[in-house]
């Protein structure tokens, strides 16, 4: 697949067919992840690939519980059941339905990749530059092979239990939990703000007149969709 097409069409996928992911595809996806840059090329990223459902039952159950609890809290805090959320035809209500399905089934995803980071000190924002480029390579390579996934952070609710269940060393942080599988059902386009809201030239707020979308790509204007893309 052409790079430009992969980048323009990789979006969050939260519903998966049950098909397992063959060795060859997983190898290509993880190879892509490990090619990413990192600070001083130290490559502190590590990937724990949860695959065998029986061997990873404890970790999957922990993630399932955490995602359910996190979504319940977000559903309430962000008012998914109020206003337009009460009309099932609205984007808000459809997003809520997608999230319900997601948290009900996350534990059964064909594969869940835990993107980890070996630390030399308590991590800050900039340490993310040594693991999240790898996560993006992983998602692009998954897209290239017909899979989809999403970068999630709700593992944080059970990080101590997960650390114990998976035998993570003390100096290792889980930077993201990324479920992967063949997309099930229909998925909308990548929805992003128009470029002129995101790109400036020479100075903050100064328009970059050249920063326009390729003609064939639609963009979502207005407020961002309340999803986890």
Query: Site residues for a second copy, window 148-177 (CB under 8 A)?
Result: 150-151, 153, 156, 166-169, 172-173, 175-176
Q: Cβ of 139: how many Cβ atoms within 10 Å?
A: 26
220 DSSP 8-state letter? -
Number of residues that bind a second copy (CB under 8 A): 95
Which stretch, 10-18, 65-73, 84-92, 101-109, contacts a second copy (CB under 8 A)? 10-18
10 DSSP 8-state letter? -
Matching residue, tokens 């009460």: 86
| DSSP secondary structure, 25-37, as one string | HHHHHHHHHHTS-
List the interface residues with a second copy, window 77-136 (CB under 8 A): 116-117, 123-129, 131-133, 135-136
Nearest approach in angstroms of CB 61 to a second copy is 14
222 lies in the binding site for a second copy (CB under 8 A):
no
Nearest approach in angstroms of CB 69 to a second copy is 17
- Cα(199)–Cα(188) distance, rounded to whole angstroms? 24
Nearest approach in angstroms of CB 149 to a second copy is 10
37 lies in the binding site for a second copy (CB under 8 A):
yes
The only residue of 144, 147, 180, 181 in contact with a second copy, by rule CB under 8 A: 144
76-85: burial string, b at 16+ Cβ within 10 Å, e else: eeeebeeeeb
């Amino acid at each position: 697949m052409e790079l430009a097409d992969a980048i323009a069409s990789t979006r969050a996928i939260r519903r998966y067919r049950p098909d397992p992911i063959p060795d060859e595809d997983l190898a290509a996806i993880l190879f892509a992840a490990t090619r990413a840059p990192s600070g001083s090329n130290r490559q502190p990223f590590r990937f724990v690939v949860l695959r065998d459902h029986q061997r990873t039952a404890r970790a999957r159950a922990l993630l399932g519980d955490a995602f359910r609890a996190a979504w319940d809290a977000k559903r309430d805090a962000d008012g998914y059941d109020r206003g337009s959320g009460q009309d099932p035809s609205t984007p808000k209500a459809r997003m809520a339905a997608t999230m319900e399905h997601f948290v009900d089934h996350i534990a059964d995803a064909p594969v869940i990749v835990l993107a980890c980071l070996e630390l030399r000190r308590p991590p800050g924002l900039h340490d993310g530059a040594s693991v999240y480029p790898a996560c993006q390579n992983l998602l692009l390579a998954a897209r290239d092979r017909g899979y989809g996934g999403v970068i999630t952070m709700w593992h944080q609710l059970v990080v101590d239990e997960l650390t114990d269940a998976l035998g993570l060393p003390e100096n290792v942080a889980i930077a993201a939990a990324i479920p992967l599988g063949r997309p099930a059902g229909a998925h909308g386009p990548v929805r992003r703000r128009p470029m002129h809201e995101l790109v400036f030239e020479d100075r903050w707020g100064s328009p970059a007149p050249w920063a326009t979308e390729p003609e064939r790509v639609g963009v979502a204007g207005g407020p961002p969709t309340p999803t986890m893309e």
